[in-house]
Amino acid sequence: MATTSDSSFITMAHGNGGRLMRELIEHVFAPALGNPDLDTNADAVRLPDLSGDGEWLITTDGFTVDPLEFPGGNIGSLAIHGTVNDLAVSGATPCYVTLNAFIEEGLALSILERLVRGIGEASRESGVRIVAGDTKVVGRGQGGGLYLATTGVGLRPHGLQLGLDRIRAGDRILVSGPVGDHGTAVLLAREQFGLSGDLQSDATSVLPIAQALIKGPGLRFMRDPTRGGIATVAHEIARTTGHTVRLQAARIPVRPPVRAVCDMLGYDPCYLACEGRIAAVVSPESATAALASLRSLGHRHAAIIGEIAAGRPGVVLETALGGERILEELEDDPLPRIC
């Protein structure tokens, strides 16, 4: 295990620009991030290649989660997956990431090393290179152990048109797998309410899913349903298009442990975060082929869960018993600090 000082915990001196900060970067961050060309002494770097047949997209995001580690991932892997997924659902192939780490005084170095290894492993698995970064240390009690901020850059092919403005009445809504896994896994990791379990977060790169959908005809729009879940994506669609989004409860894939936790605590899985799923809108004539494409990749729980209906903007859930209820726009965060 790498060590940066006699202390096993982060101190304010790790953020003062001196020896301890340099050692933290050189011995904890740089080896784990997997980019041998990373220049930790430069104030700015040249991106290796900004040519190519396409247009460059950029995204930025911040990450906080409690606890920092959860079944299926940690804040480090979550930050990389979240960044590359925002690019992937926009039609881009993720290429480069910058990383900012805000570390709380008192965090154990052994924990930080695990979290940074998560960043490096997720970067390599996602095919992105971390090309720049920064670290800051905040006082004890001023942070949640570790906050991360990222910027991602990716290349989208010329001519690929995706967006809310392309959605039409009659289009179908598809989800690539079970919903609510991440939100529920984080909740169980907190061991609140006397609950525990071995459910894994779904946090992973959705790039293979996005690329499969892009290859088929009729794709209108993609989104990764993170905070606020598929219900929030549905409201975004309804608000922008002016149409009604109709979801069918019986078709929305939900794992039994997620359903059980929701039933016990009064949560609705439609509002729980996913970190490895795509919600997509496709033309009606392309929906069946798009679903078959995802299932051929092993996403056997992928499903067509609803459609866009002409009418007033809103989200309606058709219940398994044949009734209907309105899914209101999310007001309160059902699970604080999940992504």
| Cα-Cα-Cα-Cα dihedral sign, residues 66, 255, 178, 318 | negative
- pLDDT confidence of 143, banded at 50, 70, 90? confident
Average pLDDT over residues 119-129: 96
Q: Per CATH, the architecture of 164-326 is what?
A: Alpha-Beta Complex (3.90)
Please give the helix or strand (H or E) that residue 245 lies within, else none.
Answer: strand 244-248
Q: Read out DSSP for 285-332? A: TTHHHHHHHHHHTT-TT-EEEEEEESSSSEEEEE-TTS-EEE-PPP-S
pLDDT of residue 55: 87
Confidence of residue 9 (pLDDT cuts 50, 70, 90): confident
243-256: pLDDT as tens digits:
999 999 999 999 99
Q: Assess contact for 75 and 115: CB atoms under 8 A.
A: yes
pLDDT (average), residues 305-309: 98
Mean pLDDT of the chain: 89
Q: Is the per-residue pLDDT at 34 higher than 80?
A: no
What are the helix (H) ranges across the chain?
19-24, 30-33, 75-88, 109-126, 181-190, 207-215, 229-241, 256-265, 287-296
| pLDDT tier at 331, thresholds 50, 70, 90 | confident
pLDDT tens column, 175-233:
999 999 999 999 888 876 667 778 999 999 999 999 999 999 999 999 999 988 999 99
Residues 6 or more apart from 125 whose CB is under 8 A from it?
205
Query: pLDDT grade, residue 8 (50/70/90)?
Result: confident
Across residues 288-307, what is the average pLDDT? 97
Q: Give the lowest-confidence range in 42-56, 115-129, 266-280.
A: 42-56
CB atoms within 10 A of CB 6: 5
Q: What is the pLDDT of residue 35?
A: 74
Please determine, for residue 86, whether its predicted confidence score (pLDDT) is greater than 70. yes
For helices 75-88 and 109-126, angle between their N-to-C axes, nearest 10 degrees: 20
Which residue type does 4 have? Answer: T
Average pLDDT over residues 16-31: 78
Tokens, residue 121: 């492993």
Q: Is the dihedral of CA 297, 300, 301, 302 positive or negative?
A: positive
Placement of tokens 């460059």 in the chain: 56
Tell me if 284 sits within 8 A of 211, measured CB to CB: no
What's the rounded mean pLDDT across residues 306-335? 89
Asked if residue 3 has pLDDT above 60, the reply is no
Tell me what the mean pLDDT of segment 321-338 comes to.
Answer: 79
pLDDT at 13 over 80: no
The CATH number that domain 12-156 falls under is 3.30.1330.10
Q: Is 136 helix (H, G, I), strand (E, B) or coil?
A: strand
* pLDDT value, residue 19: 74
Q: Does residue 45 have a pLDDT over 80?
A: no
- Domain residue ranges of the chain, discontinuous segments joined by +: 12-156, 164-326
pLDDT at res. 5: 46
